[in-house]
Structure 1
Amino acid sequence: MSIHFERTGPLTELTSYPQWAQDMVADCAKTKARVLDHEIWQMMIDLELDHESTRNFMKGLWPFIERFPSYMALNLLKTRYGRSTGDNMARRWLVRNIRVEQNHAEYWINWAEGAGVSRDELLNTDAPHGTDGLPRWCEEVSSRGTLAAGMIATNYAIEGVTGEWSAMVYKSTKYQESFDPSIRVGSLRWLHLHADYDDTHPWEALEIVCTIMGMNPSVDDVTHLAECIKRSYVSMILLGDRCIQRQWSLGMVNDAAA
């Protein structure tokens, strides 16, 4: 029987969590760094992302943004009140945060419109080919995976790294000032919120997962959770690659012509 985990240290310090969780996070660090080091964020900050790539980004991530509350709802369905401390924590947290997410789709549309991608195009045209890996993975792990796997893949891994890249972009004065002052606040609300509240969300999700798993889960179970985290990161990397693929291709054609 697994020994119960109850956090005693600060929420946002990794040493507050079991050794297996610390090792798991360390094992996934290089893959996470590849998300944060992806050139798309610096291109965005430097205003070097062309319209086609911006369109790919806004449309490519839209299905994930729009469906994110449903992934949380799928994980909520796995809980049973009173079954365990971990179930109770997950149930309470998911119910509360599904409500928090309810307006985020509209905020994403506002960002897209401010960046030159219309609401009609976002809602009524297909996402670019090759950008569906992230939503498909999130739906798979949230519907078929364990509660711990679903939450570690979405609420820990994706919300965590999204909070970090959002903060990088949002703190750029150059990027903020590229939006007309009359729409700037509304256009950047999605970025602002995710750069802010997501600082604690992934830690809260990690605490819940550790409470579900206990102090000494099996090696196979921990390995599986790490694989879920890495797959979330890789899905984001591949989506970023696809968003700027056209720009790469044009650059290669121009180089060849020169």
Structure 2
Amino acid sequence: MIHGMEGVTMTVTAGTEGRTRPPSRTQHHRTVKKELSETPHPAWVERMIADLRPDWEGVLASPVFTATAADGVSDETWRTIVKEFFCVVEAFPKYMGVHLGRTTYGKRDGDLLARDWLIGNIRTEALHAQWFIDWGVSLGLTEEEIISHRPGPEVASLYEFLWSVAYRGSVAEAFGAVNYAIEGTTGEWTRLVMPAFRERLGDDKYGLMWLAEHAEYDDAHPREALELIKLTVRDDDDRVAVTDAVRRSLELFRRGFDACAR
């Protein structure tokens, strides 16, 4: 045993002095992200992206976003959206925790990198629910109205589907439905509506934080999720399942927004 600074005791096991250890958590997370730099897509990923383009664009074409971009913010509609989708935002790190629990420490290809990426990004998601509430409060809701709201069938279907795929799908399916589909399109629709919300909320930095976090910086999560899909997909059947899971997630996302507009 070695006694370090401030009474901290460190143990050195014989034979381990020359072994490489991961750096600190912060440094290690940066290393994980570097290892997930974009790589050339194999043919099946190119086909998947092309096949899913109509569904992806369908989310962005929801009347909620086109009307907001053209005519400004409808407080009533967006209050409904915040209440309806809070369940998904609040559950997002939980979905990721479920598919974290299904990874291994390197027993399967890609699992170690997937495990470490999920650990880091669950921490990143920690404040998003509070920022989402702050957004709703800036539009005239109370915190109690948001957290006690029971979503309608369309958003509830998305909420339940994401739980299902996190529990029952492959790890690649979970990355596709949760991180690639939802985070990817959210990065794009928030950019569409951000100018209108800046005009509506002015310098309310707390009210704009959730939107700004998704719209204004280069959100690498969906790109990294696509790399993790490529690393963790198991076989041809799993590739088909990933495509189906992403499509279903996009379909339910669009239905949820359309229902809020009605």
Mapping of residues 52-91 of structure 1, within 5 Å? 52-91=76-115
- State the partner residue of 2:224: 204
Tell me the distance in 1 between the aligned counterparts of 2:70 and 2:127: 28
Structure ranking higher on relative contact order (CA contacts 8 Å, 6+ apart)? 1
TM-score (norm 2): 0.81
1:130-154 superposed Cα distances (whole Å, 9 cap, x missing partner): 3211111100100111111111111
Tell me the distance in 1 between the aligned counterparts of 2:130 and 2:257: 22
1:49-92 superposed Cα distances (whole Å, 9 cap, x missing partner): 54432222111100000000000000001111021341011101
Mapping of residues 85-164 of structure 1, within 5 Å? 85-164=109-188
- State the partner residue of 2:60: 36
- State the partner residue of 2:201: 179
1:123-177 superposed Cα distances (whole Å, 9 cap, x missing partner): 123234532111111001001111111111111111111111111122x1x4312
**Amino-acid identity (%):** 32
- Tell me how far 1:37 sits from its aligned partner: 1.0
Tell me the distance in 1 between the aligned counterparts of 2:120 and 2:45: 25
In structure 1, list runs of 5 or more residues that go unmatched: 1-9, 246-258
Partner AA of 1:79 in structure 2: T
Tell me the distance in 2 between the aligned counterparts of 1:222 and 1:84: 16
In structure 2, list runs of 5 or more residues that go unmatched: 1-35
- Tell me how far 1:198 sits from its aligned partner: 6.1
Tell me the distance in 1 between the aligned counterparts of 2:77 and 2:257: 9
Tell me the distance in 1 between the aligned counterparts of 2:219 and 2:230: 18
Tell me the distance in 2 between the aligned counterparts of 1:69 and 1:30: 28
- Tell me how far 1:197 sits from its aligned partner: 4.9
Q: 1:229 aligns with which of 243, 246, 250?
A: 246
- State the partner residue of 1:240: 257
Alignment length (residue pairs): 229
Tell me the distance in 2 between the aligned counterparts of 1:60 and 1:190: 16
Q: Please identify, of 198-207 and 64-73, the stretch whose mean Cα deviation from structure 2 is larger.
A: 198-207
Q: Check whether the contact 2:197–2:208 (CA below 8 A) recurs between aligned residues.
A: no
Tell me the distance in 2 between the aligned counterparts of 1:104 and 1:151: 19
Q: Check whether the contact 1:81–1:87 (CA below 8 A) recurs between aligned residues.
A: yes
Cα RMSD (Å): 2.1
Tell me the distance in 1 between the aligned counterparts of 2:138 and 2:175: 32
Partner AA of 2:61 in structure 1: D
Tell me the distance in 2 between the aligned counterparts of 1:166 and 1:44: 11
Partner AA of 1:203 in structure 2: R
1:65-121 superposed Cα distances (whole Å, 9 cap, x missing partner): 000000000000111102134101110100000000000000000111112222111
Larger radius of gyration: 2
- Tell me how far 1:180 sits from its aligned partner: 4.7
Tell me the distance in 2 between the aligned counterparts of 1:52 and 1:102: 27
TM-score (norm 1): 0.82
Q: Check whether the contact 1:56–1:127 (CA below 8 A) recurs between aligned residues.
A: no
Tell me the distance in 2 between the aligned counterparts of 1:106 and 1:76: 23
